Structure formats: structure tokens, C-alpha cells
Amino acid sequence: MTPPRQATPPTFSAHEFRLALGMFATGVTIVTARTAEGQLIGLTANSFNSVSLTPPLVLWSLSRVAASMALFSAGSHYAINVLAADQKPLAERFATRGVDRWSGVGFDEGAGGAPLLHGVAATFECFNRSRYEEGDHVIFVGEVERCTHRAGASPLLFHGGRYYTELPL
């Protein structure tokens, strides 16, 4: 019996890998939740993707060493807020450590208390269905209980380490 095939070691550096990943344009999201104690948590993430239509599943990933890992892992619900093109300052704020991310931010309460940010292009209210540890990240799979979108809204994009309201030609 032939042993299972395994990947060969990479021939590139972590920096080269990051640059290559940056060539994939993504949308920008803020993942939000509320802890059992009522604390609001949120972070900017572009590692968002659809998984399944039936049942409706989405995924996002978070570094294992993120300060909010235990809070997101323990909670029953979170929301994925897809940012609109005019929300670059919000993306930057929720990506910055040591600032009050929630000061002056408008939101409504969604499923399980997860904040639904005002002015976003779309929201996905998720039950925290499962988690998978892979490499230096944890992949969160959410079962979407509710979703909304704002017709005509343009999304904020991220490509090559920069934000865009439309991709350059």
C-alpha cells in the first residue's frame, strides 16, 4: 500500500506568499459579536467566503493568537458586515489595536446581540456552527440565520495591501 502523498516544503518565503495573496482582490468585512457579559467585539477581516447555499453557510478566519479568539470561539452568534465603498475609515479603525473601535459607531442589534453596522452593503447574521484549526488560523463556519443587502451599494475592496472603491484597470 502506498503511503498518502504529502505536500512538499514551500520554495518561497512568507513575504512572497503574502505578496502573491495580495493579488487576489477581496471585499472587506467587519465581524462583530457581543459577549455574554455585553461587551462589543469587532475586527476587520477580508477572509470571508461563501460555503454552501443549502444550508446557508459562510466562513471567515482569525489568527490563533488574536486577542479576540476566545471571545469569538465562545459566542453563539456573530455578524459579518460587508463594508460599502465609503467605509474605509471604519475598516481602518476596526483593524487598529488600542483604539475605541465602537465610539460613535451606529449599529442595530442582530441575532444573539451581534451588532449590525449602519451603512454597510450587506450583513450576514450567523450561528457559530463550527471551527477548524488549520495552520496559524482558525476557520469559523457560520450558519446564516438572516441576511440583508443594500441594493445599489458598491463594496469596499482590498487588493495589493490597499483599499479601493473600484479596482484599477
Higher-scoring residue by pLDDT: 133, 168: 133
**Which of 167, 120, 125 shows the shortest CA–CA distance to 34?**
125
Q: What is the CATH number of domain 27-151?
A: 2.30.110.10
Has residue 156 got a pLDDT over 90?
yes
pLDDT digits (tens, 9 = 90+) for 75-114: 999 999 999 999 999 999 999 999 999 999 999 999 889 9
Specify burial of residue 135 (Cβ count, 10 A radius: 0-12, 13-18, 19+). exposed
- Rounded mean pLDDT, 22-51: 95
Higher-scoring residue by pLDDT: 140, 23: 140
Q: So where are the chain's domains?
A: 27-151
Q: What are phi and psi for residue 69, nearest 5 degrees? A: -55, -50
Q: What is the pLDDT of residue 17?
A: 92
